[in-house]
Each structure stands twice: as C-alpha cells, then as structure tokens.
C-alpha cells in the first residue's frame, strides 16, 4: 500500500509541477505582453517633441546607448511581434525619435532647449549652479525639469509655426514681386527701344539748343570767376564722359571735365550714398572723406597695375594718376582687361586711362606727364600714395627712398606666374584710427566690485580682449565712473573683466552700460633700403612657414637677373636661366640678416614662371595692394607691415607636361598663362564647360578672370551664366562690368557682353540666362544641362540659393567653387565629388534674434527699436492692405480661410479699421491718421506700460523691476517742430496715402496747418490690459477672451460686402531700402528713434538704420577681387583633375587685420555596413544606389542581396513602404513599379523633364544593425 501511495504522490507531484510550469509560462507570456503594452502606452504618452522622453533616455547619453536602447525597444514593440493595434503608431514615433537624436543638428537644438529649461528652473527657484539641489537633483527636481523642458519645447514649436506663417506670407510677397519685376523689365526694355528710336532727333535738338546758349553767352559782358584748381588736378589729364541715364532723360553728350565733381562727393560736399552705400558700411563716412581728398599714383599698367587702378577708381579718391609710357604688347592681354588687340604698340597709359575713368564719375583719372619717374622725383610730392608695379629694382629703391623722406606712402607689388609679393612703407608715425573695422562692443553691467571687477549682465559674453579700452555710463552708485576717460581692461573670463583702481568713485548699486572705445594705433615703417636687408615678414599661409624668407631672396635674384640681361626676366622653363637665378639667390641669402635655407626646386620654379602673367594672381595682389593704398590715405584698418609673399604652386598641373618648348611664347594673348602651364593645359582650359550662378560683384570679377584665361574659348568650351536681377546704381561701385547706362538692364546679359568685348574669342561661347536656379526652374536647368557641365561656380549672396546649387552639384557629382565676402572679410570653399564635404555640410551660426517681449515692451538697444520699427512698417502698411485685398478677392474669406488662419479677431479688426473706421477720403485724413499713430505708440502705449509697471515696481523677489535690461521709459509729447516727430507723421501719412492710391504731399506748411487743428483726446489707462513681463513666461494675451466670439460676430456684420466696393483695392508697401524717395527708411528711422527717445537709448541716423533694417551686406571691390582670384586658382586644379585633397585650399581672409588663412577642405564623411562579402565602406555624402524602374518587390529583393533588409521607403514627403504596415497594404504595392508607386501615393504625376526619382530608405545590415545608407536613385524608362 505504501509503495502505491508513494507512486500516486509522485504522479500527483509531477502533474502539479507541470501545471505550475504552464502557469509560470502563461504568467511570463502575460508579463511580456503587459510589458509590451506598457511600453507602447509609455511611448505614446511621452512628450512627442522630446525624443529623449520617447526613448526614455537622459540627455547627453552617447550615440551607442541611443542605438542600443532603440534596438531593444523597437524589437520589443515591433508590430510583427505584438497584436497591440497601437504598436505601429508607437513604433513610428520611436523611429522618429531615434532619427532625431542621430541628427546632430536636431540633437544640438534639443540639448540647447533642455539646458535652457534647466537654467529657467534654477532661476525660478532662485538657485545657483552650485546649489546642492542642482548638483544632486532629487525626483521632484527631475520631474520639474522635465515639465519645464516640455514648456520650452512647446514654446519653441509655437514660435517656429508663427515664423513659418510669416515666411509663407513673405514667400507670397516675393512671388508677386518677382512677377512685377518681370513686367518692369519688359517696360524698361520697351522704353529703352523707344528712347533709341528718337536718339538722333533728341541729340540734334540738344546741339541746336547749345548753339543758341553759346550765342547768348558771347553777347554778355558778365565776368565769371574761375575756380582755382589744385596742383594735382592741374597735372592730371581728365577723361570723362556722361553716359545716358534713361530714367531721368539725360542724353549721351561729352561734358568738359571741369563740370564734373572731383571727389567722391556729389558736388554739394556730401558723399553719394546711392553709389557708395555698400562701401560706406565697410569704411565709414570719415574714411571716405579722407579718401575723397587724396591723390594716388600707380606706375605700371599690365594686369596687376590696371587691377589696382580699377579697385581704387571704384573706391573713390580725389584723383587717380596712371603712369606707363611703354607700348602695349600682345602678351599683356593675358591679364590686362582694359587693353584690346588693336591697342598693341600704343602707350599703355594712354589707352588705359579713359577706360578706367569710366568706372566712377567721382574719380578723375589722368596720365602722369613724364617719361620716367626717377627723372622728376619732385613731381611725386603731389601724391599721398605711390604704387609701383613692373618697376626695376634700382628705380624701386630710388623712388621708395624719396617717398619715405617726403612723407609719401609707397607700395611695391609684382607677380611672377603663381608667385607674388607686396611691400608697404607708410612712413614714420603712421596713425591707424581703427585697426579692425569691427563695430565697438557694448553691454549691460551686472556689477562692479571694489577691486574693479566688472561682470556682464545675465552671463552675456562681453567679447572684449586684453588691452581694449572701455567707458561707462548710467551707472548708479559708482557715478564717478560715468563718462570718464577710457580705461584699459584685462579680461578675467568670458563674462568679466577688470578696469583697475575704482576707489573714490562710489559703490556700485545697479544699472549701467559699458562701451568699447577704439583707440588709435601708431606704427613706424622702415624704408625699402633697410627692409630689403632685414625684412619684417607676415605669413600668408602657415603651411608654408619657410617660404617667405626664400621668396624674399628669390625675388631679389629675379631683379638682379633682369638687370644683367637688359631688363629681361628668365625665359619660361629655361634650365640655364633658372640655374643662374638659383646661384644669385644663394649669394643674396648669404648676406641676409636671418639665415635662409634654400629649396633649389622652389627657386628654380620661380625662375621658370618669371615670364608668367596670370589674371587670378593679378586679382589677388590687385585687391590687396588697392586696399593697402586706401589704408594709407584713410587710416582705416591695420596695414601690412611690411612684406607679404604668396604662392599657389598647388595650381600647377600634373596631368600635362611642361617644358621650355611647350611654354614658349607663340604671339598669343595667352602667352603669359602658357608660360606657366604650357600649351596643352591652355587647350584644356579652352574646352571646359563651366556654369556661373550669379553675375553680381563676384560674378563680374569671375567672368573677367575667365575671359583673360581663355576659359571656354575652344570648340568644346562654353560658359553658362544666369542672374535674374537687374542692375541698380548701388551695384556700380563694385560690379565693374556695368556702367550707368546699364542701370535697369539684366546683369547676366550686360556682364556677358562686357567680357566678350574684353576677349572676342568668347563670342558665341556664353549661354546667357535670366532664371534663378531653384526647384521651380528644374525644367530649365534639367538633367541634360547639369550632366553637360565640367564644373559650377557660385557667385551668390544668399544661403538658400547657395544651398540649393550645392545640393544639385552633389546629386550630379559636379565640382563646386563657392565664395563669399562681408566687408573686408572673405572666404572660399572647394567642393569635390567623393573627396570633400559640401557647402551644406556646415552652417553659419543663426542670425541674432530678439525676444518678442523685449521688442514689445523692454528694448535696451537701438537694434531692438529698429526691429520694432520695421515690424511697425509691416503692421501699418503691408499686412492690412494684404488682408483687405484677400477679403475683397477671395471667396468666403470670412468663412473657412479666416478661421483657419488662427488670428480671426485681429484680421477682422484690421478690415474694420481699414475699410470703415479709419478709411481716409483725402490726404488730410492720412495726416490725422499718422498723428494718431504717434500718440498711440509713443505716448499712450508707454503710459499704459508705466501704469501696469510703475517706475518703483518690485519683482516677486523684491528686486527693482526696472533694472538690468529693463529701462524705464517716458511717454513723449508731440512737438511738430521736432524733426523726428514731424518726419514720423510725414512718412506715415504718405505711406498711408500710398496704400489708398491718394496723391502724396510733403508740403510742411499744409502738414502743420492740419496738425494745428487736431484735437487729441487725453489718455486713460485701461486696468484690464495685461502686459507680458518676461519672454520666458506665458503670454497673458495668447488665449482668446471670453467675449471674442461676440466681438468677432459684431465686427463681421459691420463690414461692407466686397461686391459693393467694386474694383477697390489697397496697395501694399513692398519694402525697398535703396529708394530714397519712397519714405520706407524715413519711416523706420523716425519710428525707431522715437522709441529710442522713449527708453533713453542713443538714436541712430538714417544711414545706420538703413543698414540694420535692410540687412545690407557690406561690400568693397578690393575684397571681391582678391577672393575671386583665390577661387580661380582653385579652378586651375579642378580643370587639371587633381584628386589629392591636400592640393586644394579653402581660404579665409580679412583685409582689415590683415589675416590670411588657408586649410585643406574637410573630407566627406564615410560609413560602413555589413554586407554578404564583409564590411562595405560608403561615402555618406556622395554615394548613392542606382537602379532601374523595377517593381517594389524586385527593389526589396535587390537590396536583400546586398545584405540590407529594408524596413521603410519614402520619396519626398510620401511614405511608400513600411515593414510594420498591414500585410494587405504592402501586398497591393509590391507589384507596382517604383515610379508608379510614387505617383499613386503622392497623387502627383512625375514631371515630363524628370528622368529619375529619389528614394530614402531605412534598413538593417546582416548584423541586424540599423545603418545610415545613401539614397537610391531610380532611373526612369524613356517616355515614348
């Protein structure tokens, strides 16, 4: 019995154990399912805008942790592994979060928002970074931080959406502007045609009128007092011609030189800002005035000399005199763009001067009347600067010594092939008024302690350097420091600096500003005779540290060789001549003050190229020398002290041979270039197809260089150039291919015609276009166009266009040369297929933006008031007119369209005001409206602000409300005799009248009469008005009011029906900064300065306001010329087909300092994935998969063979395939061709001109790792 019982017990135990195991399995299965469901719920409940929250990660984790977490969670909740219906949504959100964290730019923005949230939380709790609660946060702090992150991200997204809406409105305006510009160009061309048809009749009438006037003058005995000309003007032979100005009816007539202004002024002692506007923002008025009183002589008029002359003439000086009596040679045409083949044999100066004189009506240009400068040194005394090029060494020494002794600045510069140098002697005790050209820094003081340690407000970096000087104002407590002499500072950190002893000046309590003061710098220069023995060298390329000393000796050896050989330099690639030059260099090096170790190969290369004359090298040194000449007469920017040597030997070709035979002259205009590169390389240049995007300042310089080089002049060569812009007067100061007669014409056409005149070999070789390069013109710049190119060069001034061209170059695997300038600063970038990163791979810091709360209520800088005033222009004269026109033209505007806009009440109030309540019937109404706006903005709004926040207000922490960045304002009382007050009303009234098509007026007496009869009601503050006190706090006016629905309904009922107004429309103002007659800048200047008066901020003149409001890019011809030269030196390498990234150079220059920096381009990023045959390396930027237009099933199978399991496919914004889609949905698509799939899902047909479609894919490799792989290009089948 016992044994039976035991067996029963064992059986029962076994069954129980099995049951327990089944239960445990079931419980584990349920736990897994619960875990999946729980995780899906967590993901969907997480804050979508915070990818860290979605992935349940802490900020700052490394990429590996992100990848592991995503892998684990994606496998857990994969739609194929759980029946949960919400799994696809959770999986999609998880994937989006993962992609966002792997995107460096998006992650950086997210991390910044999280850091901001932490600082806000610390500030809210009145903690510091060192507080224990911050260093060792508890659960509650972490939760509060998380909530604050959510608020910051939501606020950022709200800002982004508002910005997008504004951008969409702006794009609409741009589209209309573009259409109007096309119509205007058509009208201009028609007007020009009509003008030409009657040209002879008008000239005949003018001549007849002139004869009558001369007859009248002969009959009068009235004496005319002649203006006494200066010595320099008397010696200069003037060449002037007034060109046609179709816009004001002037005719082509020759005018005596004495009738022209002799400096950069407009004849009334004022600078012509319409011509010099971009340059003024670089140099300033004072420097321009000093330049306008200076006389400069340039000796030597081959390519380098004329380049210097061109840049100085454009800049504007009192007189520019040229000297070169030698006859022009055919080889000069390698770089001398103002010589023509028929000029060969004529004196260079005689034929060059009239062409330089055309560049600027304010710069008289003449010939120096002498056969030799050394024979009449006394004649040099009339000049402030003498520039020598192509001058023998003995003459250099003689002239330089005389100039040094007589206080005349002297510059000596020359180029030999790919080598060049510049020497500067600006004399003894030369004063530099502004060494950097940067705007003085200023900021708000947070504190000054008893030791003189100054702390900037709110952890704002002060940007100052040791040795800078500052002054102070508006300090409370330490009042003895206000408005005293500048103090030298020592930087203690990015947020603090010391100013020395502050005892006896009081104890700092609050407020105050610091202001950087630019102090003059005094320099002593040594004469050439001393410097040639013991040179003071500056580096142009830190990768060539040993070059300047060697080239200093080598250039002297070239001059010594020329003296021995009747002025002739070594023959091109002549070994015996090169050997002699090297031996001369050795002798010179032995006597050098500093030991020089010579590289024989380098010195011989210098000798090989001594006959070389390259346009881009002339551009580089022409820009450099011209800027140094302007520094010498203006004192603006730090000069070169005293030698600079530069070479670009990397530009020498390696794909062709060079020899004495291949480099010898052949009586060709390209002999100067052939001497360096050889005839075979010249042929490669001639048969190149290049695309130039933009024909502005850089574009003009680029085309000039290409013309001199003979680029695209061969049977297979072609230059395509496009620019949709028309020429404006302000362009003439830098874009030297244009003349005043070209104003209003297309840039691409005029520039192309100008360079064809420079080099007739280009006739029929330039494809002139007037289309912008953008997505909407891909039917013009189609695949056939792009594929035909050898290279692309950008000459654009905006990031958006440059980025688009960059993307196209990456797509079509075309090399791109990009460059840009900003005043005296410039940069160049080389983009090479499969070698370098692209232009879009890196981004400049975003433009500074101001918090809305600061602009609305708490400005503390003039930039704040200008931004506010520009927005006011939009608020008054743009948005209302556009809103009214939409109401009048768009069907059911008050229905769906307005409700979807999100600002229904505001739009209806605009319609009520501009169609009913404030609609003017005459100009007097406009004056009264403008006066009312003054009262509203500068008195009532300020009085309301002070009612909400009186001047003695305290914050919740007990601090003064009006302190730090918050400046307590005062309301203004209108004074018609105050120019700023009156100008605001004048401009506002005229702009309001413009909106309503009412004739404008500037009659001051009439304005004052209307204003005098106006009655302005007293202001009463409204207790119900809420004002946002801090931009970090929620806007109290963001939520709609309780009675908004009723208000909206009542306003809508009060509006007139559109059909009752017939064809009535308002005319929106389109902001144009360069039209001085349209009141736009006048309004912004007055509006800004009135607000500055409210807040006791230093006002800004019209010039500065225009610069800030118009976002003007400062520009000067010298920087443009130099940068373009550097770009063309890189073009030589591209044409040669170099594949060694170390041979290319990205350039960074600042002529103000001066600074020259060169670096190798950054290599394109590489990646790997595990394929069937092992690890596969890919170029993340340049690589792509290419395939035929196969079915989706074949597409998936093809990639599976490559070891890639595709989980998602998209094209544009359409998601075409996802592994987590229901099988039925994917099954319907597997049999479709990829092109059919795109058209079906996007519901759009593929354009006729498009020959391929791009697909983005997400995939795993054989290691089941998510891999970042290139896009896929599907080539479409040819259409029947």
Share of the chain above pLDDT 90, in %: 67
Statement: residue 232 has pLDDT above 50: no
State mean pLDDT over 124-134.
Answer: 73
Name the pLDDT band for 48 (thresholds 50, 70, 90).
confident
pLDDT of residue 190: 58
Asked if residue 770 has pLDDT above 90, the reply is: yes
Calculate ∠ Cα 1121-1126-1132, nearest 5°. 125
Give me the pLDDT at residue 42, please.
87
Q: What is the pLDDT of residues 87-123, one digit of tens each?
A: 888 888 888 888 888 877 778 788 877 877 777 777 7
Candidate from 167-176, 410-419, 544-553, 984-993 with smallest mean pLDDT: 167-176
Give the model's confidence band at 1150: pLDDT under 50 very low, under 70 low, under 90 confident, else very high: very high
pLDDT at res. 171: 52
Which of these ranges, 40-44, 62-66, 423-427, has the smallest mean pLDDT? 62-66
1030 or 301, higher pLDDT: 301
CA distance linking residue 652 with residue 573, whole number of Å: 13
HSE-up of residue 318 (Cα within 13 Å, Cβ side): 24
Q: How much of the chain is in helix, strand and coil states, percent to nearest 5?
A: 50, 15, 35
Tell me the two tokens of residue 598. Answer: 């010579």
Q: Hey, what are 931's tokens?
A: 């006066």
- What digits encode the pLDDT tens for the residues 1106-1123? 999 999 999 999 999 999
User: Which residues make beta-bridge pairs with 888?
Assistant: none
Examine the pLDDT at 213 and tell me if it is beyond 80: no
Quote the pLDDT of residue 1035. Answer: 66
Taking residue 534's Cβ as centre, other Cβ atoms within 10 Å add up to: 10
Model pLDDT, residue 1: 41
At residue 163, does pLDDT exceed 60? Answer: no
Task: Check residue 234 and give its pLDDT.
Answer: 34
Predicted local distance difference test score (pLDDT) of residue 1036? 67
pLDDT of residue 226 exceeding 60, the answer is no
| pLDDT at residue 256 in the model | 29
Query: 630: closest CA among 165, 282, 173, 1048?
Result: 282
Mean pLDDT of 1132-1148: 97
pLDDT at 458: 67
Q: Give the range with max mean pLDDT: 250-254, 848-852, 894-898, 1136-1140.
A: 1136-1140
Asked if the model's pLDDT at residue 758 lies above 70, the reply is: yes
pLDDT score, position 1049: 83
Whether the bond between 885 and the residue before it is cis, its omega within 30 degrees of 0, is: no
| 125: DSSP letter | T
Q: 174-188, 276-290, 678-692: which range is least confident on average?
A: 174-188
pLDDT band at 57 (very low <50, low <70, confident <90, very high): confident
| Whether residue 853 lies in the annotated active site | yes
| 3 state DSSP class of 1100 | coil
Task: Please state the rounded mean pLDDT for residues 517-535.
Answer: 96
Q: What is the pLDDT of residues 377-424, one digit of tens each?
A: 999 999 999 999 999 999 999 999 999 999 999 999 999 999 999 999
- What is the rounded distance in angstroms from the CA atom of residue 835 to the CA atom of residue 1179? 9
| Contact of 416 with 609, CB cutoff 8 Å | yes
Report how far apart the first and last C-alpha atoms of the chain are (Å, whole number). Answer: 95
Q: Evaluate if residue 267 carries a pLDDT over 90.
A: no
- Identify the residue with better confidence: 1222 or 998: 998
- pLDDT higher than 70, residue 370: yes
Q: Which residue, chain included where needed, has tokens 């166009």?
A: 785
What DSSP line would sit under 448-474, residue for residue? E-TT-EEEEGGG------TT-EEEEES
- Check whether 946 has a pLDDT greater than 80: yes
Chain center to CA of 974: 40
Q: Domains in the chain, please, with CATH?
A: 25-157 (1.10.287.110), 273-432 (3.40.50.720), 442-517 (2.40.30.180), 537-612+649-743+768-841+1144-1159 (3.40.50.720), 862-1032+1043-1110 (1.10.10.2660), 1166-1275 (3.10.290.60)
Non-local (6+) Cβ contacts of 674 within 8 A are: 572, 662, 663, 664, 665, 666, 668, 682
For residues 889-901, average pLDDT? 73
Least confident range from 5-9, 139-143, 337-341: namely 5-9
Instruction: Reply yes or no on whether the pLDDT at 178 is more than 80.
Output: no
> Which position has the higher pLDDT, 463 or 160?
463
- Could you give the CA distance from residue 299 to residue 318 in angstroms, rounded to a whole number? 18
Mean pLDDT of 1008-1032: 89
Q: How would residue 200 be classed by pLDDT, with cut points 50, 70 and 90?
A: low
% residues pLDDT > 70 (the chain): 86
Give strand ranges (E) for 58-159. none
How many other CB atoms sit within 10 Å of the CB of residue 491?
15
Instruction: Give the pLDDT score at 159.
Output: 61
Q: Which segment of 792-796, 881-885, 1050-1054 scores lowest on mean pLDDT?
A: 1050-1054
With 60 as the cut, is the pLDDT of residue 375 above it? yes
Q: Are 331 and 390 in contact (CB under 8 A)?
A: no
pLDDT top residue among 1081 and 458: 1081
pLDDT tens-digit readout, 1021-1036: 999 888 888 766 666 6
Mean per-residue pLDDT over the chain, rounded: 87
| CA–CA gap between residue 387 and residue 531 (Å, rounded) | 17
Q: In DSSP terms, which residues pair with 496 in a beta bridge?
A: 455, 493
- pLDDT tops 90 at residue 884: yes
Quick one: which of 999, 1003, 983, 997 has its CA closest to 1080? 983
Residue 146 binned pLDDT confidence (cut-offs 50, 70, 90) = confident
Task: Give pLDDT, residue 175.
Answer: 56
Single out the catalytic residue among 700, 809, 853, 926: 853
């Amino acid at each position: 019995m016992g044994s039976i019982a035991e067996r029963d017990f064992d059986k029962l135990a076994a069954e129980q154990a099995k049951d327990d195991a089944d239960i445990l399995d079931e419980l584990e299965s349920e736990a897994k399912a619960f875990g999946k469901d729980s995780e899906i719920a967590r993901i969907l409940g997480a804050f979508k805008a915070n990818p860290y929250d979605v992935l349940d990660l802490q900020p700052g984790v490394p990429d590996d942790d992100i990848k592991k977490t995503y892998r684990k969670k994606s496998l857990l909740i994969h739609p194929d592994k759980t029946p949960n219906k919400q799994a696809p949504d959770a999986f999609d959100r998880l994937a989006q979060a993962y992609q966002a964290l792997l995107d460096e730019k998006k992650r950086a923005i997210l991390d910044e928002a999280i850091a901001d949230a932490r600082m806000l939380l610390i500030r809210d709790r009145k903690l510091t970074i060192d507080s224990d609660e911050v260093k060792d946060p508890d659960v509650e702090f972490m939760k509060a931080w998380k909530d604050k992150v959510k608020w910051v991200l939501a606020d950022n997204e709200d800002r982004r959406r508002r910005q997008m809406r504004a951008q969409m409105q702006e794009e609409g305006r741009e589209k209309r502007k573009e259409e109007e510009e096309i119509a205007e160009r058509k009208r201009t061309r028609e007007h020009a045609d009509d003008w030409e048809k009657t040209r002879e009749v008008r000239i005949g009438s003018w001549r007849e009128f002139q004869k009558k006037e001369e007859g009248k003058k002969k009959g009068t005995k009235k004496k005319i007092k002649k203006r006494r000309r200066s010595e320099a003007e008397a010696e200069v032979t003037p060449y002037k011609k007034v060109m046609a100005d179709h816009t004001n009816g002037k005719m082509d007539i020759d005018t005596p030189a004495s009738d022209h202004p002799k400096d950069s002024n407009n004849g009334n002692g004022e600078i012509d800002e319409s011509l010099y506007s971009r340059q003024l923002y670089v140099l300033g008025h004072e420097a321009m005035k000093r330049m306008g009183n200076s006389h400069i002589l340039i000796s030597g008029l081959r390519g380098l000399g004329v380049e210097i002359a061109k840049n100085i003439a454009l800049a504007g000086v009192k007189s520019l005199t040229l000297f070169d009596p030698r006859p022009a040679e055919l080889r000069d045409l390698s770089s001398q763009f103002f010589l023509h083949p028929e000029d060969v044999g004529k004196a260079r100066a005689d034929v060059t001067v009239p062409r330089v004189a055309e560049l600027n009506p304010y710069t008289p240009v003449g010939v120096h009347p002498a056969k030799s400068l050394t024979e009449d040194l006394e004649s040099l005394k009339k000049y402030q600067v003498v520039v020598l090029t192509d001058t023998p060494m003995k003459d250099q020494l003689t002239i330089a010594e005389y100039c040094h002794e007589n206080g005349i600045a002297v510059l000596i510069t020359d180029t030999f092939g790919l080598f060049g140098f510049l020497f500067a002697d600006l004399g003894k005790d030369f004063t530099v008024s502004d060494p950097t050209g940067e705007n003085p820094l200023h900021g708000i003081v947070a504190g000054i302690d008893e030791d003189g340690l100054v702390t900037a407000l709110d952890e704002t970096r002060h940007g100052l350097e040791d040795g800078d000087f500052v002054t102070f104002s508006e300090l409370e407590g330490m009042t003895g420091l206000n408005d005293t002499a500048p103090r030298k500072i020592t930087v203690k950190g990015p947020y603090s600096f010391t100013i020395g002893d502050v005892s006896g000046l009081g104890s700092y309590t609050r407020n105050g500003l610091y202001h950087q003061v630019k102090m003059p710098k005094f320099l002593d220069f040594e004469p050439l005779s001393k410097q040639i023995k013991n040179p003071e060298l500056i580096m142009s390329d830190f990768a060539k540290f040993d070059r300047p000393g060697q080239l200093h000796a080598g250039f002297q050896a070239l001059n010594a060789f020329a003296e021995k050989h009747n002025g002739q330099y070594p023959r091109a690639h002549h070994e015996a001549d090169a050997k002699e030059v090297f031996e001369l260099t050795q002798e010179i090096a032995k006597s050098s003050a500093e030991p020089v170790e010579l590289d024989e190969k380098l010195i011989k290369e210098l000798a090989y190229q001594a006959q070389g004359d390259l346009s881009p090298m002339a551009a580089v040194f022409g820009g450099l020398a011209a800027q140094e000449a302007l520094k010498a007469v203006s004192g603006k920017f730090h000069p070169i002290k005293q030698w600079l040597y530069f070479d670009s030997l990397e530009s020498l070709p390696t794909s062709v041979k060079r020899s004495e035979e291949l480099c010898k002259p052949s009586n060709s205009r390209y002999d100067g270039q052939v001497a360096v590169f050889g005839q075979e390389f010249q042929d490669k240049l001639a048969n190149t197809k290049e695309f130039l995007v933009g024909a502005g300042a850089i574009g003009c310089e680029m085309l000039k260089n290409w013309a001199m080089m003979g680029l695209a002049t061969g049977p297979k060569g072609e230059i395509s150039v496009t620019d949709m812009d028309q020429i404006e007067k302000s362009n003439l100061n830098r874009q030297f291919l244009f003349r005043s007669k070209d104003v209003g014409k297309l840039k691409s056409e005029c520039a192309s015609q100008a360079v064809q005149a420079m080099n007739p070999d280009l006739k029929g070789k330039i494809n002139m276009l007037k289309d912008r390069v953008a997505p909407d013109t891909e039917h013009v710049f189609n695949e056939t166009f792009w594929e035909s190119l050898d290279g692309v060069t950008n000459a654009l001034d905006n990031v958006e266009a440059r980025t688009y061209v960059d993307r196209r170059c990456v797509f079509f695997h075309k090399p791109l040369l990009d460059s840009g300038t900003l005043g005296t600063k410039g940069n160049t970038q080389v983009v090479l297929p499969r070698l370098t990163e692209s232009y879009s791979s890196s981004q400049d810091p975003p433009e500074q933006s101001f918090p809305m709360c600061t602009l609305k209520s708490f400005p503390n800088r003039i930039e704040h008031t200008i931004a506010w005033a520009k927005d006011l222009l939009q608020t008054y004269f743009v948005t209302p007119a556009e809103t009214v026109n939409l109401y009048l033209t768009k069907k059911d505007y008050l229905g769906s369209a307005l409700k979807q806009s999100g600002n229904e009440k505001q739009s209806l109030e605009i319609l009520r005001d501009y169609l009913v309540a404030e609609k003017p019937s005459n100009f007097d109404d406009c004056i009264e409206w403008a006066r009312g706006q003054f009262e509203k903005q500068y008195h009532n709004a300020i009085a309301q602000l002070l009612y909400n926040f009186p001047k003695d207000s305290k914050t919740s922490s007990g601090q003064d409300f009006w302190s730090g960045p918050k400046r307590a304002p005062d309301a203004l009382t209108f004074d018609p005799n105050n120019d700023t007050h009156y100008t605001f009303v004048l401009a506002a009234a005229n702009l309001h009248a413009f909106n309503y098509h009412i004739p404008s007026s500037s009659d001051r007496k009439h304005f004052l009469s209307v204003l005098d009869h106006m009655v302005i009601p007293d202001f009463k503050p409204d207790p119900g008005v809420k004002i946002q006190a801090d931009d970090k706090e929620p806007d109290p006016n963001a939520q709609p009011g309780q009675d908004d629905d009723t208000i909206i309904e009542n306003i809508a009922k009060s509006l007139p029906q559109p059909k009752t107004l017939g064809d009535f429309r308002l005319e929106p103002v389109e902001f144009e900064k360069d039209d001085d007659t349209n009141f736009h800048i006048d309004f912004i200047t007055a509006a800004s300065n009135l607000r500055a008066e409210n807040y006791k901020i230093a006002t800004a003149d019209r010039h500065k306001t225009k610069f800030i409001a118009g976002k003007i890019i400062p520009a000067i011809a010298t920087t443009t010329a130099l940068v373009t030269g550097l770009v063309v030196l890189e073009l030589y390498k591209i044409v040669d087909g170099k594949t060694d990234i170390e041979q290319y150079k990205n350039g960074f220059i600042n002529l103000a300092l001066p600074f020259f920096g060169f670096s190798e381009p950054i290599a394109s990023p590489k990646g790997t994935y595990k394929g069937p045959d092992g690890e596969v390396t890919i170029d993340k930027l340049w690589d792509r998969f290419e395939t035929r237009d196969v079915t989706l099933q074949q597409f998936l199978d093809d990639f599976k063979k490559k070891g890639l399991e595709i989980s998602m496919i998209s094209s544009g914004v359409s998601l075409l395939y996802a592994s987590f889609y229901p099988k039925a949905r994917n099954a319907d698509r597997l049999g479709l061709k990829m092109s059919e799939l795109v058209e079906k899902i996007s519901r759009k047909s593929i354009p006729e001109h498009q020959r391929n479609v791009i697909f983005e894919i997400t995939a795993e490799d054989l290691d089941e790792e998510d891999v970042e792989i290139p896009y896929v290009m599907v080539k479409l089948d040819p259409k029947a």
